[in-house]
Structure 1
Amino acid sequence: MRPTLYEFAGGEPAFRALAAAHHERCLADPELNHPFSKPDQHPQHVERLAWYWAEVMGGPPRFSAECSDHSAMLRMHAGNGDISDLGRRFVACFAAAADDAGLPADPEFRAVLRSYMEWAVAEVLVYRGPPAEVPARLPVPRWSWNGLQPL
């Protein structure tokens, strides 16, 4: 049986490293720096991001259990208008952060990670208006080697 993306990546340590590397790359990006260096950012932002991505990729539901649901994540990013360029930069930082974090270089795995992030950014871009437009109680999506899984 094929391992989950979470297992293939290396489990919790891999997603902690990915979230930390991604955050550093976004801070270093001249356009992404602003949203990633807000003084009101949650002190556990990187840790929670790791939990979220781990859960999406088939890991334990820690984000759902200890933080919130997918709706909360979408609301946090809603209301920014057209941020398409930031989305492209975000995906590029994510792909480079996978290298920085030492995730497996397997081409199929990397393609699946990128397809997830492109999907996720496109979903965030749907909610350009106020956060109240985001539907309530959306579960954290699950991604597999075959893409988005039905919930």
Structure 2
Amino acid sequence: MDESLYDAAGGRDVLVALAGAWHRRCLDDPLASHPFIHTDLHPDHVERLAAYWGEALGGPPDYSSLIADHSTVLRMHAGNGEHADLDERAVELFVQALDDADVTERVRPALVAWFRDAVAEMARFPGSAADVPAGLPFPRWSWDGPVT
């Protein structure tokens, strides 16, 4: 399939809506709110999150060209120990947010597979941000899974 997941999902507007819905659901959840209440979020957090997701799903490279690289993102998520319950809850809330953002059924299985992988990627360095190597490639995902 030549169409990117980004385009099939509906592009920037849908990903902003999805990121906003997921973020609201996380903030309202006793388990998933924990990472957000212990950090100062950028005022444009939802838009930046949507840009990261969009780039990962085959959209424009707005995140890596305008905001940060993948290693920086992993450092923001590193050093929090193991948190399998939180990771699973984040995926559950993402599935619910797909409804909130009216994401089409056709693209949902691929988005859920990508998000589950992305959550695992964010948990790769539980010990310390210092463990994250510089210059890691930006992860991209297609209908068939990770793009290498």
Taking structure 2 as the reference length, the TM-score comes to: 0.95
Alignment length, in residue pairs?
A: 148
Q: How does 1:61-80 map to 2 (within 5 A)?
A: 61-80=61-80
Residue 36 of structure 2 is aligned to residue 36 of structure 1 = yes
In the TM superposition, what is the alpha-carbon distance from 1:139 to its structure 2 partner? 2.5
In the TM superposition, what is the alpha-carbon distance from 1:89 to its structure 2 partner? 0.4
Structure 2 counterpart of 1:123, one-letter code: E
CA distance in 2, matches of 1:56, 1:35: 22
Range with greater deviation from structure 2 (12-21 or 135-144): 135-144
- Give the alignment's Cα RMSD to 1 decimal: 1.2
Taking structure 1 as the reference length, the TM-score comes to: 0.93
Residue 127 of structure 2 is aligned to residue 141 of structure 1 = no
CA distance in 2, matches of 1:38, 1:84: 18
In the TM superposition, what is the alpha-carbon distance from 1:137 to its structure 2 partner? 1.3
Percent identity over the alignment is: 51
1:118 corresponds to which residue? 116
Range with greater deviation from structure 2 (12-21 or 119-128): 119-128
Residue-by-residue CA offset, 1:21-49 (whole Å, 9 max, x unaligned): 01001011111112223461111111100
2:125 corresponds to which residue? 127
Q: Which runs of 5+ in 2 are unaligned?
A: none
Q: Which runs of 5+ in 1 are unaligned?
A: none
